């Protein structure tokens, strides 16, 4: 893998494109265009694109669409994260998050674990949560509506993730819940959380009152959670994140690191250090009444 500079403060971007539901080439080319434009504007170390970015059909990983993105990752020496419908050699299909490294290597990052009804008819759920040491940072992935399940992001955070990426394809009233959940996942897990949500163009045109988009970049610091937020149209958002600040926070032993005035101002303290895991075991044993 090519050697990259390792700053503690670096740029992350989220791409929110308008995508045509049945025009695979248009969607791939549109993502390539927006990624290229953002990379040429000013280097991003990480760029996140939406889930189901080519919309129609499935593809192996690696495959033609991700190989096209890999050329950009290598050209601009950056990481690209996104989601797609993956056809696998095991005969199953998955909703898969991928990460492309700056040398063009394509990796399976995360298979979505909580399927919505329309997915469960065709796709299988993933069976684990993983963290990749990207050199610059330890990164994880929470796919689409997995963001609504706190356990998913917590599993990633407890493996040391500093940034969680969330490629999404969520519309309607779900975008409000998505944004709220994403902010909560950032704060409660003390990670930076980057959510890239796509816009199905035909749906947006047919239902102009339906909310779409609302991608966001969020910090774990309560005094400044929203670093960047998109509206309901095609947009690219970006922010600078400070991993040294986050790492200093995580070195503290808990609430004692903050005095009363800092807590009153909403200053962050190391909540993960104050966890009581001995009390949580029954969660996995409980079922709904």
Give tens-digit pLDDT for 46-87. 999 999 999 999 999 999 999 999 999 999 999 999 999 999
- CA–CA distances in Å: residue 270 to residues 225, 227, 228, 275, 288: 16, 20, 23, 10, 31
- Reference 140, options 112, 161, 114, 159; nearest CA is 161
Q: How far apart are CA 22 and CA 200, in angstroms?
A: 10
Mean pLDDT computed over 193-208: 90
Taking the CA atoms of 152, 154, 157 and 163 in sequence, report the sign of the dihedral they define: positive
The 10s digit of each residue's pLDDT in 2-22 is 334 556 888 999 999 999 999
Percent of the chain with pLDDT over 90: 72
Q: Where in the chain are the domains?
A: 9-243, 252-289
pLDDT at residue 2, as a whole number: 37
Span of 36-45, 232-241, 263-272, 275-284 with lowest mean pLDDT: 263-272
Whether 1 has a pLDDT exceeding 50, the answer reads no
Strands 226-229 and 216-218: antiparallel
pLDDT, tens digit, for every residue of 86-142?
Answer: 999 889 999 999 999 999 999 999 999 999 998 999 999 998 999 999 998 999 999
pTM of the model as a whole? 0.92
How far apart are the C-alpha atoms of 272 and 249, rounded to whole Å? 10
HEC per residue, the chain? CCCCCCCCEEEEEEEECEECCCCHHHHHHHHHHHHHHHHHHCCCCEEECCCCCCCCCCECCCCHHHHHHHHHHHHHCCEEEEEEEEECCCCCEEEEEEEECCCCCEEEEEECCCCCHHHHCCCECCCCCCEEECCCCEEEECCHHHHHCHHHHHHHHCCCCCEEEEEECCCCCHHHHHHHHHHHHHHHHCCEEEEEECEEHHHHHHCCCCCCCCCEEECCCHHHCEEEECCCCCEEEEEEEEHHHHHHHHHCCCHHHCCHHHHHCCCCCCHHHHCCHHHCHHHHCCCCC
Protein fold of 9-243: Nitrilase/N-carbamoyl-D-aminoacid amidohydrolase (3.60.110)
């Amino acid at each position: 893998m090519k050697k990259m500079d390792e700053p503690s403060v670096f740029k992350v971007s989220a791409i929110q494109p308008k995508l045509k539901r049945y025009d695979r080439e248009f969607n791939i080319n549109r993502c390539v265009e927006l990624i290229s434009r953002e990379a040429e504007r000013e280097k991003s170390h990480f760029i996140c694109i939406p889930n189901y970015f080519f919309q129609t059909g499935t593809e192996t990983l690696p495959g033609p669409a991700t190989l096209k993105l890999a050329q950009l990752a290598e050209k601009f020496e950056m990481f690209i994260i996104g989601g797609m419908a993956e056809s696998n050699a095991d005969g199953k299909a998955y909703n898969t998050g991928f990460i492309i490294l700056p040398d063009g290597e394509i990796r399976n990052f995360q298979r979505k674990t909580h399927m919505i009804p329309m997915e469960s008819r065709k796709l299988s759920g993933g069976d684990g949560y993983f963290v990749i040491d990207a050199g610059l940072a330890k990164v994880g992935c929470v796919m689409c509506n997995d963001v609504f399940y706190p356990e998913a992001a917590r599993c990633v955070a407890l493996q040391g993730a500093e940034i969680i990426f969330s490629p999404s394809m969520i519309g309607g009233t779900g975008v409000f819940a998505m944004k709220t959940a994403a902010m909560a996942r950032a704060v409660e897990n003390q990670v930076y959380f980057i959510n890239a949500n796509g816009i199905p163009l035909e749906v947006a045109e047919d239902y102009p009152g339906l909310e779409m988009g609302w991608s966001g970049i969020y910090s774990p610091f309560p005094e400044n959670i929203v670093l960047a937020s998109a509206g309901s149209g095609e947009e690219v958002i970006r922010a600078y994140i400070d991993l040294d600040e986050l790492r200093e926070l995580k070195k503290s032993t808990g609430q004692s690191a903050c005095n009363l005035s800092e807590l009153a101002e909403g200053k962050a303290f190391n909540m993960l250090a104050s966890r009581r895991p001995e009390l949580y075991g029954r969660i996995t044993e409980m079922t709904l009444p």
